[in-house]
Amino acid sequence: MSYPVPFNEPERLTELERLRSAEWGFSAALDRLCSLATRQLKVPIALVSLVGDKEQNFAGRQGVDMLKTSRDVSFCAHAIMTPQPFVVENATEDSRFCENVFVTGDPGIRAYAGVPLATRADLRIGAFCAIDVKPRRFTADELALLGELGGIATAIIEFEHMKLQLDDALEEAGEMQEDLREHALALESSNKELAEFAQTLSHDLKAPIRTIRTYLPDILENARTGELATALEDYRLVLKSATHMDQLVDTLREYCKVRYEKAPVTDLPMNVVVEDAVGILKPAIEERAAVISWGELPTVKGNGPQLILLMQNLIGNALKFSAEPPRISITAASRGADAVFCVKDNGIGIKADYLEQIFEPFQRLHAASRYAGAGLGLAICRKIVERHQGRIWCESAVGQGSMFHFTLPAAQ
């Protein structure tokens, strides 16, 4: 090692690292400062050198093209040793520099004057220097000017560093603001959806309550007057309404669960999911003598209970809105990283105008008296698929049966 090392070298290098910008070329301002120094001190070369562990990097330059040199041939490595200006009047007569490659070779340094760049923490990270290619003296005024320019160079380096930090902070603040805006929008739309949901729900719950309210006094009156047959008929209506309310509350619970509960994801063979859903629907399948077929289905990344509920709702609807006997097939294909499934039935079909609407909560195309249901089944299906980053859609025509397609992420 042929250069002196300051006593506080580790702290000095940490300070340099703190101020390091993505590139060493800080700003055109440092180059301009060097240009000013060459004119005022009448020298061909001026440099702002940052002295690192093994190299010096030129953050500002005038008169040389190099961006860095090794530290052991650096004059500035000597200038950082003292707070005073470091001066060499004739390098060829100085044992420390007479064999230096920049003295014996290009650019042929003869005279050097450098002042340390001392940061606010009073650590010398480099030097501001003026270099001549012929031996010369530097006057006290010239060295004082060099000192001033060195002070300005340090201030520019600190300023550029602060500017970078400020830019980063501003960028971060901008991203946070954008995140907040997105959250606020999501919250607003979720609140709106919830309000609409609550309104429709209260409307749907009121219908059976109204029926019960209307018929209960009649039942009592008929029972009192001995018209038991009429009382029994009314009682059946009340029971039906209560059952409907019960179903509505159950479906609602399912909907809320899908929407708000955490759903851990594992690799799931869809054959097993379909078998489970078909098992749950066994009584309805047997009652309708339905034929349900599926082949080899892929394994997906998903939440077991949610995917069973999804298949249960789709197969359940296919059974409910089907011809006699219901024929339902479940197929799958691969599309990029996804698996695309299709549940096809031979049922009553859906008018093209309603193919989107059916996925909204409480949307029913038929009177509840004809086909029972809360109108939440497909809304649940859509929530489940969306929570799996998938998409669900329907292709159908009246009297032509329906095909419900949905995508799920395929397991690797």
Binding residues (CB under 6 A) for ligand ADP: these are: 313, 317-318, 321, 345, 347-350, 358, 363-366, 373-379, 402
**3-state SS, residue 201:** helix
Instruction: Please report the sign of the dihedral spanned by the C-alpha atoms of residue 56, residue 59, residue 64, residue 68.
Output: positive
Q: Please count the helices (runs of H) and the strands (runs of E) in the chain.
A: 10, 13
- Closest approach, Cβ 313 to ligand ADP, in A, equals 6
- Closest approach, Cβ 347 to ligand ADP, in A, equals 4
Which amino acid appears at position 278 of this protein?
V
Evaluate the omega torsion of the peptide bond into residue 6 and state whether it is cis, within 30 degrees of 0. no
Query: What's the CA gap between 349 and 396, in Å, rounded?
Result: 6
Place of tokens 């290619």: 133
Closer of 84 and 293 to ligand ADP (Cβ): 293
Closer of 154 and 313 to ligand ADP (Cβ): 313
- Closest approach, Cβ 360 to ligand ADP, in A, equals 8
Closer of 302 and 401 to ligand ADP (Cβ): 401
- Closest approach, Cβ 387 to ligand ADP, in A, equals 17
In DSSP terms, which residues pair with 49 in a beta bridge? 58, 127
Closer of 310 and 410 to ligand ADP (Cβ): 310
Closer of 117 and 384 to ligand ADP (Cβ): 384
**3-state SS, residue 36:** helix
Which amino acid appears at position 356 of this protein?
E
CB atoms within 10 A of CB 103: 21
Instruction: Please report the sign of the dihedral spanned by the C-alpha atoms of residue 279, residue 284, residue 286, residue 289.
Output: negative
Which amino acid appears at position 338 of this protein?
D
Closer of 277 and 350 to ligand ADP (Cβ): 350
In eight-state DSSP terms, residue 83 is S
Indicate the length of the chain as a whole number: 412
Backbone angles phi, psi at 364, to 5 degrees: -125, 140
- Closest approach, Cβ 276 to ligand ADP, in A, equals 19
Q: Which two tokens stand for residue 27?
A: 């700003």
CB atoms within 10 A of CB 298: 18
- Closest approach, Cβ 329 to ligand ADP, in A, equals 13
Query: What's the CA gap between 99 and 290, in Å, rounded?
Result: 99
Closer of 298 and 316 to ligand ADP (Cβ): 316
Closer of 208 and 377 to ligand ADP (Cβ): 377
Query: What's the CA gap between 312 and 320, in Å, rounded?
Result: 12
Closer of 223 and 365 to ligand ADP (Cβ): 365
- Closest approach, Cβ 402 to ligand ADP, in A, equals 4
Closer of 138 and 197 to ligand ADP (Cβ): 197
- Closest approach, Cβ 368 to ligand ADP, in A, equals 8
- Closest approach, Cβ 259 to ligand ADP, in A, equals 15
Angle between helices 140-225 and 228-260 (to 10 degrees): 170
| CA proximity to 155, closest of 29, 339, 18, 296 | 29
Which amino acid appears at position 32 of this protein?
R
Closer of 235 and 362 to ligand ADP (Cβ): 362
- Closest approach, Cβ 251 to ligand ADP, in A, equals 7
- Closest approach, Cβ 308 to ligand ADP, in A, equals 16
Question: What is the 3-state composition of the chain as percent helix, strand, coil, each rounded to the nearest 5?
Answer: 50, 20, 30
Do 149 and 73 contact (CB within 8 A), yes or no?
no
In eight-state DSSP terms, residue 84 is S
**3-state SS, residue 344:** strand
